[in-house]
Amino acid sequence: MKTLGITPRKIVQHVFLGIVVVIGIRFYQFVCLIESGVAPGFDRPPGVEAFLPISALVSLKHLLVTGSINPVHPSGLVLFLIICGTALMARRGFCSWICPVGLISEYLGRIRLFRLRSPFVLPRFMDFPLRSLKYMAAGFFVYQIFFKMPGPAVEAFIYSTYNRFADIQMLKFFTDMSSTAWVVLVVLAVLSVLFRHFWCRYLCPYGALLGVIGFFSPGRVRRDVLRCSGCGKCSRNCPGQIQVASKTRVDSAECSACLTCVENCPEEKALKFSFSTASKGLNGATMAVMFILVFGLGITCARWSGNWQNDILVREYLRFAGPAVPSPLPQGINPGNMNPASIDPKKMKRMIQMMQRLKEQQALTVPPGQ
C-alpha cells in the first residue's frame, strides 16, 4: 500500500546512525587521551568493534574450535552474530534498516535522482559479473579463515598486537587518511551518485555474506497475482533492481527487505513481506520493533554474560599509542648545553628508529589479559 512521509525504516536508520556517530566521537576522545598520555576516565565504547569484521570472523572460528568467546574483541563477535541472526529473519535487512553506509548510499542516490531524469542502470552483461565481485571477496575471507587458517594461527592472530589494537588502527585510517584512500572514497561516492547503491550492489562483502545467509530465511516479499494490477511500480522503485512485478515470490539475494516495493504498491495487500504465503504481512513498524529487539536483547545478553567489554587494560593502550618515553641521557651530558645545530642528522634518525623499535617491543611483551 502506498505510504508517504517518514517511514519506520527511516527512523530506525537515523537512530542507528546517531548511535554510530556517538560511538565514533567517544572512541576518538578515548584515543586522543591515550595519545596524550592520560588515562581516560571512561571505558572504551565496545560498539566500535562492529567495524572490525575480519577480527569477528576469526573470533567466530575461535568460538567454533574452543567453544568460548575470546576476550580481545568480544563485542565484535556478538554484533557479528546478531547481524547474521537478522539475515535469518529478514534476509539482507541489516543493509537497508541498520547499516549507516546503506543510509549514506541512499542520500548519494538522491543526488543522482535529482540531477538526472532517469537512473543509470548497467546492462546485464556488466551488472552480473560486477555483482559477483562482492561474493568472491566474501568467499575469499571465509575460505582463508575457516578452511585454511589452522587453530594455532587463529590463537596467534587474536592475541597479536595488530588485532588487539585494530580499533585504534582503524580509527587512524580515517583520521590520517592517505591521498590514495581519499581518491578511492571520492570515486566510490561519485559512482554511488551515478549508479544506485554502487558499493552495496557490487563491492560490499558483508552484504554478500548476509545475502547468502538470507537464502535460509523464510522471510520473502510475496505478490498476490489476483490483487496485482500490473502497474510495475514495485519493480521501478526497487533499490535492488529486482523485477518484483514478474514474480510471485522474491528469492533474489539482492532483496534487503526494505519494503520499498510494498510501500509503493497502489493495490491493497497485493504485496507483502511475510514468513509464509498464508501468514500476515509484516508492516514497517513491526519490522522496526523486530530489529530493535534483536539488537537490544543480543547486547543485553552479552553484557550479562561478561562478553561485551574487552580485557585490554588502559596501561596497555598507553604502551601502544601513548607518547614515547625518552631514554635517559648518558651520565655527564646536560641537555641544556646541547646545541641542536651540532647534532648529526643521521644519528638523530637512528635514535628515533631505536625508540620506535623499543616502543613496539614493549607492546609485544605485554601478556594477553594483563
Q: Average pLDDT, stretch 92-105?
A: 96
Please list the residues that pair with 195 across neighbouring strands: 120
Angle between helices 124-143 and 205-214 (to 10 degrees): 90
221: part of which helix (H) or strand (E)?
strand 220-223
d(CA 313, CA 164): 11
pLDDT band at 192 (very low <50, low <70, confident <90, very high): very high
Q: H helices of 238-313, where?
A: 260-264, 284-304
**Looking at this protein, which amino acid is placed at residue 283?**
N
d(CA 355, CA 200): 43
pLDDT band at 114 (very low <50, low <70, confident <90, very high): low
d(CA 323, CA 84): 39
370, pLDDT greater than 50: no
Cell numbers describing residue 268: 491493497
pLDDT at 307: 96
Q: Confirm if 95 and 200 have CB atoms less than 8 A apart.
A: yes
Q: What is the mean pLDDT of the chain?
A: 89
Of 41-50, 92-101, 108-117, 305-314, the least confident: 108-117
Phi, psi for residue 195 in degrees, rounded to 5: -125, 125
352, pLDDT greater than 80: no
pLDDT band at 343 (very low <50, low <70, confident <90, very high): low
Contacts of 283 (CB under 8 A, 6+ apart): 8, 259
236 or 333, higher pLDDT: 236
Number of other CB atoms surrounding residue 21 within 10 Å: 11
367, pLDDT greater than 80: no
341 or 73, higher pLDDT: 73
Of 13-27, 259-273, 329-343, the least confident: 329-343
Q: Average pLDDT, stretch 280-297?
A: 96
pLDDT at 363: 55
369, pLDDT greater than 80: no
**pTM of the complete model:** 0.85
Q: Average pLDDT, stretch 296-323?
A: 95
286, pLDDT greater than 70: yes
d(CA 212, CA 91): 9
C-alpha gyration radius of the chain: 25
Please list the residues that pair with 221 across neighbouring strands: 273
d(CA 91, CA 8): 18
pLDDT band at 325 (very low <50, low <70, confident <90, very high): low
d(CA 69, CA 62): 7
Of 57-71, 102-116, 179-193, the least confident: 102-116
d(CA 56, CA 73): 8
